[in-house]
Structure 1
Amino acid sequence: MAGILFIISAPSGSGKSTLVNQIRSLVDNLEFSVSYTTRAPRGSEEDGREYHFISRQEFERMIQNDEFLEYADVFGNYYGTARRSLADAQAHGKDLLLDIDVKGAAQVRRKVPQAVSIFVMPPSPDILATRLRNRSRAEGSIQEEVIARRLAEARQEIENYREYGYILVNDVLARAEEELLAIVTSERLQRAGLTPAPDQERLVKLAESCRQQNTDERVRPVLLAFGLPAPEPVKP
């Protein structure tokens, strides 16, 4: 069955882009929606590959014409997903993957309640700060005030994790990649009403373990590390 909308969100620096690139290389018939943004390209980013880079005036014209499935102002720059992305994917018999922030994801869930939503968590603030510094260093400069702002924003975003159907903790990249593959595989089987083949059963079980209601033990240390309320540990 084509036409499944997958939403993936994560704080900046959580490794989401790496996961998205990997799942795109592993899964057939999965379109990636290239978002629009008014921010300037970073490093080796190219227009039409990571984002469609447009002016603020052009973005606001698209808002007025109701051309976005979702959009948000993030750190002073607009980001948005064009409505035609989903229609084009469905017309070509493909599923669509959206890489969007928590505000945009909330808009999409209201418009497409059957969407599959996935939230990627960094394992701790210290690891996230290191990843952000490494990325900034690769881009040519490290601005500690920007990193501090990103960490504060990450804490706010993580507070919304219960709004998502699946949770991944990206502490070991290979594990997170396999979990994301499992979620896509399981949802496709379920939507198509198919019984998992023997080699798919393990992936279906792995996907089930990533459902938000089954991840309390995995997310508890992350929440505590970010100073957020955490579920009580399961008593033996």
Structure 2
Amino acid sequence: MYQLKEKEMIFVFTGPDGSGRKTVADMVGSTLGINKVLSYTTRAKRPAETDGQDYHFISEDEFKRALANDEFIEAVEIDGVHYGIKDKDIEEMFRDNDFIYLILNAEGARMLKQRYGEKVTRLFIYVDRDIIIERQKELGVSDEVLDQHFKHYDEDMAYMPECKHAFENMDLAHTVFAVTNVLEQYMSRDLLEKD
């Protein structure tokens, strides 16, 4: 397992499906120049997704081989689909940056926090269930996908108190601004300590 150096830190974005956590995380990451570590998954690629940008899409056999070889630092199964983060990917991302971010569900976020403790800061992004429904319908999301989003909604919301920061994503620009300000404080803290 990769041992984080003194100044290195992991930001984990979590929250219910459909809350905009990925969009917020990617916009904040881009604004602050923070590298994203991608999860590996055995689920089928959705129409708007790109392999190597949203996830590493791999077969069930590939996932099982990597699991058997102890390549994953975090691996979960949700509704028969496997997701995992590889230790080597975390190490590689820290070569260029003292800060990285990941987008994980509650179980994955909890595992990473247990493993790295204070080096992990969890950011919970959420919106009310009715707003998710409204936004998803505007995007033309099918009822089947909506049902999938809400399968774990209550369970995901129950994780909020464990996270250091929570942001209600009512307005994307406002949320990105608020999250960016919080992360800048963590990032500049190291600069201040060096003076």
- After TM superposition, is the score higher than 0.5? yes
- 5+ residue gaps, structure 1: 196-236
- The size of the alignment, in residue pairs, is 188
CA change 1:43–1:91 in 2 (3 A) is: same
Separation (CA, whole Å) in 2 of partners of 1:143 and 1:93: 41
Separation (CA, whole Å) in 1 of partners of 2:32 and 2:99: 10
Match of 2:107 in 1: 103
Separation (CA, whole Å) in 1 of partners of 2:151 and 2:50: 28
Match of 1:22 in 2: 27
Which gives a bigger RCO, structure 1 or 2 (Cα 8 Å, sep 6+)? Answer: 2
TM-score with structure 1 setting the length: 0.74
Q: Deviations over 1:137-158 (max 9, x none)?
A: 25xxx134x4234224111111
Maintained 8 Å contact 2:8/2:98? yes
Q: Deviations over 1:101-138 (max 9, x none)?
A: 0000010001010211111111x111112233344x25
Match of 1:6 in 2: 11
CA RMSD for the aligned pairs?
1.9
Q: Deviations over 1:166-195 (max 9, x none)?
A: 111101111110111012101112244359
Match of 2:51 in 1: 47
Secondary structure of the residue aligned to 2:189 is helix
Shift of 1:3: 2.1
Separation (CA, whole Å) in 1 of partners of 2:162 and 2:17: 18
Which amino acid is 2:111 matched to? Q
Separation (CA, whole Å) in 2 of partners of 1:42 and 1:194: 44
Deviation above 6 Å: which 4+ runs of structure 1?
A: none
- Which of 116, 119, 126 is 2:121 aligned to? 116
Separation (CA, whole Å) in 1 of partners of 2:60 and 2:138: 29
Maintained 8 Å contact 1:2/1:93? no
Which one is further off, 146-155 or 42-51? 146-155
Separation (CA, whole Å) in 1 of partners of 2:115 and 2:126: 24
- Which of 89, 92, 110 is 1:88 aligned to? 92
Maintained 8 Å contact 2:14/2:21? yes
Alignment of 1:133-144 (within 5 A): 133-135=137-139, 137=140, 142-144=142-144
Q: Deviations over 1:40-91 (max 9, x none)?
A: 1111312111111000111111111111121111222111111112211222
Match of 1:199 in 2: none
TM-score with structure 2 setting the length: 0.88
Maintained 8 Å contact 2:35/2:99? yes
Maintained 8 Å contact 1:119/1:167? yes
Give percent identity, aligned residues only: 24
Maintained 8 Å contact 1:116/1:165? yes
Separation (CA, whole Å) in 1 of partners of 2:156 and 2:121: 18
